[in-house]
Amino acid sequence: KGLKKFFPVTGGVFSRKIGEVKAVNDVSFEVYEREVLGIVGESGCGKSTTGKALLRLIEPTEGEVIFDGVDITKLDDEEMRKKRRDMQIIFQDPYASLNPRHKVEKILGEPLLIHGIGDKEERQKKVRDILEIVGLPGEHANRYPHQFSGGQRQRIGIARALIVNPKLIVCDEPVSALDVSIQSQILNLMEDLQEQFGLTYVFIAHDLSVVRHISHRIGVMYLGKMVELTGNEELYNNPLHPYTKSLLSAVPNPDPDVKKERMILEGDVPSPSNPPSGCAFHTRCPDCMDICKQVRPEFQEYSDNHFVACHLYSEENN
Using CB under 6 A, list all residues that contact ligand SF4: 241-242, 279, 281-282, 285, 287-289, 292, 297, 310-312
CA 252 to centroid of chain Cα atoms: 22
Judged by beta carbon, residue 107 or residue 235, the one nearer ligand SF4 is: 235
Alpha-carbon distance of 47 to 164, in angstroms, equals 25
Is residue 310 a contact partner of residue 279, using CB atoms and an 8 Å limit? yes
Query: ∠ CA 9-24-267 to the nearest 5 degrees?
Result: 80
Picking from 157, 128, 124, 126, the residue whose alpha carbon sits closest to that of residue 140 is 128
Residue 177 contact, options ligand SF4, Mg ion, none, Cβ 5-8 Å cut-off depending on partner type: none
Q: CB nearer to Mg ion: give 49 or 163.
A: 49
Query: With respect to ligand SF4, which residue has the nearer C-beta, 212 or 225?
Result: 225
Look at residue 242 and give the partner it binds from ligand SF4, Mg ion, none, a contact being a CB closer than 5 to 8 Å depending on partner kind: ligand SF4
Residues in 165-194 that interact with Mg ion by CB under 5 A: none
Contact partner, 113, from Mg ion, ligand SF4, none, Cβ < 5-8 Å per class: none
- Nearer to ligand SF4 by Cβ, of 210 and 279: the residue is 279
State in angstroms the smallest separation of the CB of 309 from ligand SF4.
Answer: 7
Encode burial over 9-43: b for 16+ CB neighbours within 10 A, e otherwise.
Answer: eeeeeeeeeeeebbbbbbbebebeeebbbbbbbee
In this structure, what DSSP letter does residue 124 have? H
Residues 6+ apart with CB under 8 A from 248: 208, 235, 236, 239
The pairs formed by 111-117 with CB atoms below 8 angstroms and a separation of 24 or more are: 111/160, 111/163, 111/164, 112/163, 112/164, 114/81, 115/82, 115/84, 115/85, 115/164, 117/164
Nearest position to Mg ion, beta carbon? 48
Q: How far apart are CA 187 and CA 195, in angstroms?
A: 13
Smallest separation, CB 314 to ligand SF4 (Å): 8
Residue closer to Mg ion (CB basis): 91 or 313: 91
Query: Is residue 97 part of the contact set for Mg ion (CB under 5 A)?
Result: no
H or E segment and range at residue 67: strand 66-67
* Closer residue to ligand SF4, CB minimum distance, 5 or 282: 282
Residue 246 CB, shortest distance to ligand SF4, in Å, is 10
- 75 interacts with, out of ligand SF4, Mg ion, none, CB within 5 to 8 A per kind: none
**48 contact, one of ligand SF4, Mg ion, none, CB 5-8 Å limit per kind:** Mg ion
Residue 151 contact partner, candidates Mg ion, ligand SF4, none, CB within 5 to 8 A by sort of partner = none
d(CA 171, CA 215): 12
In the complex with ligand SF4, which residue's Cβ is closer, 265 or 292?
A: 292
Residue span 30-49 as binding mask against Mg ion, x where in contact by CB under 5 A, dash where not: ------------------x-
The minimum distance between CB 306 and Mg ion, in angstroms, equals 26
Query: Residue 297 CB, nearest distance to ligand SF4 (Å)?
Result: 5
- Selection from Mg ion, ligand SF4, none that 282 binds (CB < 5 to 8 A by kind) is ligand SF4
Q: Please measure the distance between the N-terminal and C-terminal CA atoms of the chain and give it in whole angstroms.
A: 28
